[in-house]
Each structure stands twice: as structure tokens, then as C-alpha cells.
Structure 1
Amino acid sequence: MTRPQGLLAIWANIDADYTLDFVQWHNCEHIPERVNIPGFHVGHRYRAFDDTRDFFMVYETDTAEVMQSEPYLHSQNHPTPWTRQSVSHFRDPLRTIYTLVAQTGDQPALDAPYLLLVRSNPPGRSDGADEVMQWYETEHLPRLGAVEGVHRARLYRAELEISNIMTAERQVHGAASGSQQFLAMYEMSAPDIPHSGAWREAARGTNWSAEMVAALQNVERERYWLDFALWAPGRQ
């Protein structure tokens, strides 16, 4: 199976009195609709551990360009009444489209129950973005991916032009595109792995890693647990 290269990521709080209705819509209409669009592989929904947005919703696709394809934009520009109702209850949403830059590990046989996200911008020097990608690919992801309990580690880079396409659905929920250029995703078997000594050593235990961790800008770390997953037919 071809490794998905694209990612559609949405963060949002949901009005507390609408949460169960949101979950029903997302499970029963929205994710099934999305994963049946050509180029979609799988949709996941996660719920927050920490003081961050309540939900993280993410779809893996063939490429980022799937999110500017005619079938996808048709769905975005013709939202169902249930979709219009549901996304009107999003609060402080973010929505960004990404391309895969580097990966260590493979898709787990069963979806990993926990997820760590790290969003960041590169150091403020001319080669900062290139160095971030080189560091993640050659050192950071391999070291963190080797920590016990880490199934897969990935780095994505934002595709701002595609992320900023305006659609009818987006006009309802009003999501911003986010301000960080990079998104790292770590699929894990336990939620406290990022607090372990093994993780800290893997993350900062070389001169290059210590320097890069300190140099990253606008860093946000978020932990989530898996709430729902649905694969496109024939994709798993």
C-alpha cells in the first residue's frame, strides 16, 4: 500500500452542550463521507489530555493536493444541513493541510491509543527550515522512534496555499490555518512516555538535538487519546 503523503488536521473546542451531538455527526456522517472521497485513506478523532483544544481530527490522504481536488472541494462547498449545524458549534478551530517530510516506524497493526503532537517554527535563520527537516529525518525521529512504546514518528510541513482555500464549510466554522510550519506526530502505547527519562535522553541527548530543541520557535505540545477511527474501503 502506498504511504499517505498528505494530512488534513483540525483542532477545535466544541460547545459543551453539543458534544454528544457532535460525536454522533462525526461518527455517523462526516468521517464516512470524507474517507469515501478519492485519495483519502483514514480518519481519526482524538480527545485531549492536556489544557488544549478538546478535539483533534485528522485525515491521511495520498497527497496534500487531494484537498484541492474537485471531489473534496465539492463536499466542502456543499455541506449537508447536519454538517452546517455541527461545525457552527466549533470554537477556536484551527485547520492546516500538510505534506509528509520524514517518518520512522510503520503504521501499527492496531491504531495506537495515544498521540503526542509538537507544533513548531524553525529557527530564525535563512537555512532554519532545511536544518529542521534534516535534523528530524536523520536524528530526532529515529531516536524518539526507538523509545519503547513509540510505534511511529512523523514530521509534516504545512502547505499554506492549500490550507488557505476558502469554502462554504470553512465560512461556517471560521477555522484559522495555524501559525506553525511544522507538525510532528508520535503514536504511542502510553500517555506518559514523553515524560520519561528515555524520552528526554532521546530528545536532547546529543549536542545537535539539544541545540535544535532550544532553537525551535513557537513550540506547542499536545497529548491526545484515540476516540474514533475509520479507514476508507480497502485502505487498511
Structure 2
Amino acid sequence: MTPAPEWEDDFNRWYDTHHIPIRMAAPGFLGAQRYRNVEGPAYLAVYDMQTPEALKTPDYLRIKQNPSEQTNWMLANVGDFTRYTGELISWQQRPDVEDDRVLDSAYLYAVFFSVPAEHEEAFNAWYVEDHVPLLLGCEHWLGCRRYRIVDGHPAAFTHMALHHLADLAALQSRAREAARATPWRAKLAAEPWFKGHYAVFSRHGAAFRATPTV
């Protein structure tokens, strides 16, 4: 979402004190972290859920179908609204990095692809066996979580990778150069569908965690 500059502060207050907290009390929600695009005032919120079915529970539907007046206003006026739901298909990280440090990374490099079904197996094998292991050769490349998109708007992406970075220097590292120069990648890059959509975000605020139920 991209708020207008004159009400960006109000947008952030609404997101941090209302929009995310009420979702953290819904079953199936585990946590959330917000990010801001490094090139402008576009915001990303990443929600961790047990399964996509968390978006179909009575509690969540009650939240979704009964928005506050402020929520209605924000959603009607915010720009660049996008929403993607995915199922985790791989999680790779440096062996010297704990899970919490990956999730608390200072930067998030998000990559989206539209992969034809007949190429999915080869694409996933390349990403897991060739691409990510080389990226993790950079000390600033903490980990990568990959998802198969099960629902999304507005673009018809099928796969999403969330790369967790400690420093943006990772994007100019020798490890990344090596990962983008392998024969396996060159073979896939020759395919007309191999066109990724990329965005870089910095962490915005503290992480949210699910509200314990009594």
C-alpha cells in the first residue's frame, strides 16, 4: 500500500495500532512485520500464518467484514494495493544464522515470478539447489523463504521469494554475481516467461506476534 505523504503518519498509526493487532488475535496468525520500500513511500506487511485457511476462519471473516470507519477510509484512499497469499515451499538460510535473526533482518528483497506449470519443477530445483546456496555465500544474505502463491491481486504471479538481508551490500556482492552467472540460470533465463518482478524494502518498526488465547 502507498499512502499520500500528507497522511502517511496517520496510515502508519492505523496499521500499527489497529490493522495488524486485531489480526494477531485471530486463529492461525503467528506474526507480522512491516517494511517500507527503499525507493519511496510504499509499504509492505508480511503476515505469517499456520496455513492460508487462517483467512477463512469465522474470527478473521468477522474482522474483514466489519471494518472500522478509519479502515474503510484508508482502504478507499491508499494507492498501489496488492495482496498475495502463499504456501511455504522452501526455507534456506546461512548455517550460522538463527531463525529469529532471519525474520528480524533489516532488509527484505522480494522477488515474484509467473512460472508456467510445466516449468515449475525445474524452476524450483534451480532456486533451491543452485541459486540460493550461492547467494548464501554472502555474509549479509541471511536466508530465503519461498512460496507458491495460492491467491493474489493484481498480477498473476505464481511464485514469491522473500530474501532476508542484513545489509543492502548483498545485492552488489560477488555471491550474487556468481548466482546470476551459472549455466543453469542462463538456460532458464532464455525462456520468455523468465521475467522477475523485484522490490527492496527496509524493516519498519518492531515485529508483531500472535496474541495468546486464554
Fold in common (TM above 0.5)? yes
**Could you say which residue in structure 1 is the equivalent of 2:12?**
23
Shift of 1:137: 2.3
Secondary structure, aligned partner of 1:66: helix
Contact 2:137 2:175 in 1 (8 A): no
Give matches, 1:98-113, under 5 Å.
98-105=86-93, 107-109=99-101, 111-113=104-106
For residue 210 of structure 2, what is the aligned residue in structure 1? Answer: 232
Q: Which residue of 1 aligns with 2:157?
A: 180
Residue 170 of structure 1 aligns with which residue? none
1:64 to 2:47 alignment: no
Quick one: which of 211, 217, 233 aligns to 2:187? 211
Assess if the C-alpha contact under 8 Å between 1:102 and 1:136 holds in 2. no
Matches within 5 A, 1:39-54: 39-50=28-39, 54=42
Structure 2 runs not aligned, ≥5 long: none
**Pairs aligned (count):** 205
Whole-Å separation in 1 of the counterparts to 2:211 and 2:130: 35
Measured on the aligned residues, the alpha-carbon RMSD in Å equals 2.0
Runs of 4+ in 1 over 6 A off after TM superposition: none
SS of the aligned residue for 1:151 comes to strand
Which residue is 1:190 aligned to? 167
Supply the distance in 2 between the matched residues of 1:111 and 1:206 (Cα, whole angstroms).
30
Aligned residue type for 2:18: E
CA distance in 1, matches of 2:171, 2:190: 17
Which of residues 112, 126, 138 in structure 2 aligns to 1:119? 112
Percent identity of paired positions between Structure 1 and Structure 2: 24
In the alignment, the residues of structure 1 paired with residue 104 and residue 189 of structure 2 have an alpha-carbon distance, to the nearest angstrom, of 28
Identify which of 58, 80, 84 aligns with 2:72: 84
CA distance, structure 1, for counterparts of residue 7 and residue 44 of structure 2: 16
TM-score by length of 1: 0.79
Q: Contact 1:141/1:154 (CA < 8 Å) preserved in 2? A: no
Give, as a single letter, the amino acid of the residue that structure 2 aligns with 1:151.
L
Contact 1:67 1:73 in 2 (8 A): yes
Distance 2:140 2:198 in 1: 18
DSSP 3-state at the match of 1:91:
coil
CA distance in 2, matches of 1:219, 1:184: 10
